[in-house]
């Protein structure tokens, strides 16, 4: 069975966008995302087109997270391209974390997309032991779970701690780990992503980082926060609401290429 796909990236987080009503077997997703034997990607975004499209996210390991901020920008650009709408193009995409309204400003195969990411909740602070010292983590819910630390962690320690937290009882559903170095202008962030490992960007992670910065009074609600990830900068605006912070994320997406791939019989789950 030949299956068409479109490759997109948002701040270097790369995905296969596939228009499909059915889900895919996790083993098929892992094969598609394999960078040596497959197409390669941080995940697969399954899109059910229509007036109210739906996005299902599959991580590179086949798991199904609730939401993907960079992914929803890529899907919004894909929908604008397929409808040949140069915008501003507005559409609401249903996700497992709820609806996300996107505004696409498109120039050809690229776009700047602003997404209403809903309410991000800063939950509590916990401490975990790593390499003989306590690491302070701030837990946040951006539609999926995050743990943000401002403690110094080198790259190897970030990867080791991120992997270990996936089975820690403090995080029964796993967690995305963000290490932040904040200079008051840019919040430099590295991400270990649940179901993927180290990634060049995480949209929901950037939103969670911004919400924690405001909750800890390192920043304020009155100006956007620039979160710099290895793949680029995302601009996060926050509005105070009773249940936390309502967040809007602005960042790029780009169409890379399209192709078809052979799927085994019974690939739908």
How far is Cα 64 from Cα 36, in angstroms, rounded to an integer? 22
HSE value, Cβ hemisphere, 13 Å, CA-based, for 61: 8
- Report helix, strand or coil for 179: strand
Whether the bond into 60 is cis, omega within 30 of 0:
no
Q: Which residues are 45's β-sheet partners?
A: 17, 57
Q: Select which of 33, 74, 102, 202 is catalytic.
A: 202
- The secondary structure element, H or E, covering residue 140 is strand 133-141
Q: How many CB atoms lie within 10 A of CB 37?
A: 8
Show the tokens assigned to 241.
Answer: 């609401």
Under a CB-based contact definition with an 8 Å cutoff, are residues 177 and 128 in contact? no
How far is Cα 119 from Cα 4, in angstroms, rounded to an integer? 34
* Full DSSP string of 189-241: EEEEETTTEEES--HHHHHHHHHHHHHTTSS-TTS-EEEEETTEEEEEEEEEE
Task: Give catalytic status of residue 102 as yes or no.
Answer: no
CA-wise closest residue to 94 among 80, 76, 70: 76
Q: Select which of 68, 74, 102, 207 is catalytic.
A: 68
Q: Which are the catalytic amino acids? A: 68, 202
């Amino acid at each position: 069975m030949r299956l068409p796909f479109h490759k997109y990236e948002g701040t270097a987080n790369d995905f296969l966008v596939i228009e499909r009503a059915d889900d895919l077997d996790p083993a098929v997703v892992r094969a598609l995302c394999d960078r040596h034997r497959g197409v390669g990607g941080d995940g697969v975004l399954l899109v059910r087109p229509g007036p109210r499209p739906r996005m299902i996210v599959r991580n590179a390991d086949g798991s199904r997270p609730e939401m993907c901020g960079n992914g929803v920008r890529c899907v919004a650009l894909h929908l604008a391209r397929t409808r040949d709408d140069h915008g501003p193009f507005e559409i609401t995409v249903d996700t497992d974390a709820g609806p996300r309204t996107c505004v696409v400003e498109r120039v050809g195969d690229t776009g700047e997309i602003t997404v209403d990411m809903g309410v991000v909740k800063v939950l509590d602070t916990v401490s975990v032991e790593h390499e003989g010292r306590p690491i302070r983590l701030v837990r946040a819910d951006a539609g999926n779970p995050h743990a943000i630390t401002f403690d110094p962690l080198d790259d190897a320690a970030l990867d080791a701690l991120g992997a270990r937290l996936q089975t820690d009882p403090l995080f029964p559903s796993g967690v995305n780990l963000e290490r932040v170095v904040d200079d008051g202008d840019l919040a430099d962030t590295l991400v270990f992503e649940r179901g993927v490992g180290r990634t060049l960007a995480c949209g929901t992670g950037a939103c969670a980082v911004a919400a924690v910065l405001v909750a800890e009074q390192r920043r304020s609600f009155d100006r956007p926060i620039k979160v710099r990830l290895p793949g680029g900068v995302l601009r996060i605006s926050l509005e105070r609401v009773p249940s936390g912070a309502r967040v809007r994320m602005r960042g790029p997406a780009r169409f890379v290429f399209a192709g078809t791939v052979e799927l085994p019989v019974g690939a739908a789950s």
